[in-house]
């Protein structure tokens, strides 16, 4: 797909000025290359994903020193697209290459971010952690351990970094999938039945999730329980299909459960108990104010609602849910 015309024009201007990408690489230290962004309001994010926290916004065209680039979410602008993101050490984050003034989809002369992450992770969840939180629910430790690197990355991408958010997310997944990235809902033979960490279900979820990541989930639904995509799909649902972090911040497990999409019932209390166990492990105690129940408006099956519809329904009435 061709890049936006403005990118070609800006590249031409740079070339006429004798400032080519190759020249920039040669003229700067080995660890960095200089490029120019275009447009206004371009976000620098904590990682290479649209759901990652915004750490800075560029008010206009900006010169950026890039030390490496990595693949992330596909970004399309004015008919062009790129899945590559440039790491900018000075800003502590990544900007999509779609808004860098070059004709290519990938930065020339810039290495991929490999080995050590420019922003080393901290506070990752370990197998010992989840076993302490959820005990016998961790039925296949080797599978759980294999998936944890990708799951921890997804949590960072979704800004699930506080004890409340971690407890809500992990308690949800341990009930959905036992924290096994490759699980298929037992007995579910539907083409778009439950798969992966979040048990993605229904073409109404497979389609938008696939579109978000630029993959054909409708044609290849098994991708939803692959090691590559299971965790990213879970964070997509948590932050894009729904906006669940605020419910975790409010200790409102009732709304978390409603957002996942199953009708109210005895399962709510079980998940809330797991939430409390995780909170106790992560903080040393269970804080006051944990909400386990739902309002009447959120008691039914909300799985097919859009994010806007769910948000509107959540505002109906008052009460605990």
Residue 159 in any domain: the answer is yes
- Does an H or E element contain 258, and which? helix 253-260
Q: Are strands 80-88 and 68-77 parallel, antiparallel or unpaired?
A: antiparallel
Q: Are residues 93 and 211 in the same domain?
A: no
Q: Are residues 207 and 64 in the same domain?
A: no
Number of domains in the chain: 2
Q: Domain of 307?
A: 127-314
Q: Are residues 303 and 157 in the same domain?
A: yes
The two tokens of residue 99 are 């808004």
Q: Are residues 301 and 236 in the same domain?
A: yes
> Which pTM was predicted?
0.64
Q: Can you say whether residue 181 is alpha, beta or left, with left for phi > 0 and alpha for psi between -120 and 50 degrees?
A: alpha
Q: Are residues 95 and 134 in the same domain?
A: no
DSSP one-letter code for 238: I
- Does an H or E element contain 21, and which? helix 21-27
Q: Are 155 and 163 spatial neighbours (Cβ–Cβ below 8 Å)?
A: no
pLDDT, one tens digit for every residue, the chain (321 residues):
334 444 544 444 444 433 333 333 333 333 458 899 988 899 998 888 887 778 789 999 999 988 889 999 999 887 578 999 999 887 878 999 999 988 888 998 888 887 444 444 458 999 999 999 999 999 999 999 999 999 998 998 898 989 999 999 999 999 999 999 999 987 888 999 999 999 999 999 999 999 999 999 999 999 999 999 999 999 999 999 999 999 999 999 999 999 999 999 999 999 999 999 999 999 999 999 999 999 999 999 999 999 999 999 888 644 333
Residue 17 in any domain: the answer is no
Q: Are residues 307 and 168 in the same domain?
A: yes
Q: Are residues 66 and 146 in the same domain?
A: no
What order of strands is seen across the sheet that includes strand 93-96? 54-58, 42-45, 93-96, 80-88, 68-77
DSSP one-letter code for 2: P
Closest CA to 309 of 268, 253, 261: 261
């Amino acid at each position: 797909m061709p890049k936006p015309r403005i990118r070609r024009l800006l590249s031409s201007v740079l070339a006429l000025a004798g400032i080519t990408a190759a020249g920039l690489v040669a003229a700067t230290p080995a660890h960095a290359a200089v490029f120019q962004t275009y447009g206004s309001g371009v976000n620098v994010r904590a990682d290479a994903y649209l759901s990652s926290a915004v750490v800075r916004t560029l008010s206009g065209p900006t010169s950026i020193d890039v030390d490496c680039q990595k693949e992330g979410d596909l970004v399309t602008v004015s008919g062009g697209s790129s899945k590559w993101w440039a790491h900018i050490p000075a800003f502590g984050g990544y900007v999509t290459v779609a808004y860098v003034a070059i004709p290519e989809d990938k930065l020339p002369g810039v290495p991929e971010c490999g080995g050590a992450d420019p922003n080393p992770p901290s506070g990752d969840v370990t197998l010992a952690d989840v076993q302490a939180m959820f005990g016998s629910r961790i039925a296949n430790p080797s599978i759980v351990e294999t998936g944890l690197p990708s799951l921890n990355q997804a949590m960072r991408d979704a800004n699930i970094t506080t004890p409340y958010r971690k407890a809500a997310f992990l308690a949800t997944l341990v009930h959905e999938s036992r924290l096994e990235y490759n699980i298929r809902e037992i007995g579910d033979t539907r083409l778009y039945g439950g798969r992966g960490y979040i048990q993605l279900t229904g073409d109404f979820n497979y389609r938008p999730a696939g579109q978000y990541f630029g993959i054909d989930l409708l044609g290849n639904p098994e991708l939803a329980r692959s090691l590559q995509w299971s965790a990213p799909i879970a964070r997509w649902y948590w932050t894009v299909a729904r906006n669940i972090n605020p419910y975790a911040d409010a200790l409102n497990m009732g709304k978390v459960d409603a957002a996942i999409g199953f009708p109210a019932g005895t399962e709510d209390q079980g998940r809330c108990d797991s939430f409390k166990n995780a909170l106790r492990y992560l903080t040393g105690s269970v804080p006051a104010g944990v909400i386990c129940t739902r309002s009447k408006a959120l008691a039914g099956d909300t799985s097919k609602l859009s994010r806007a519809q769910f948000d509107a329904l959540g505002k109906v009435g008052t009460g605990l849910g």
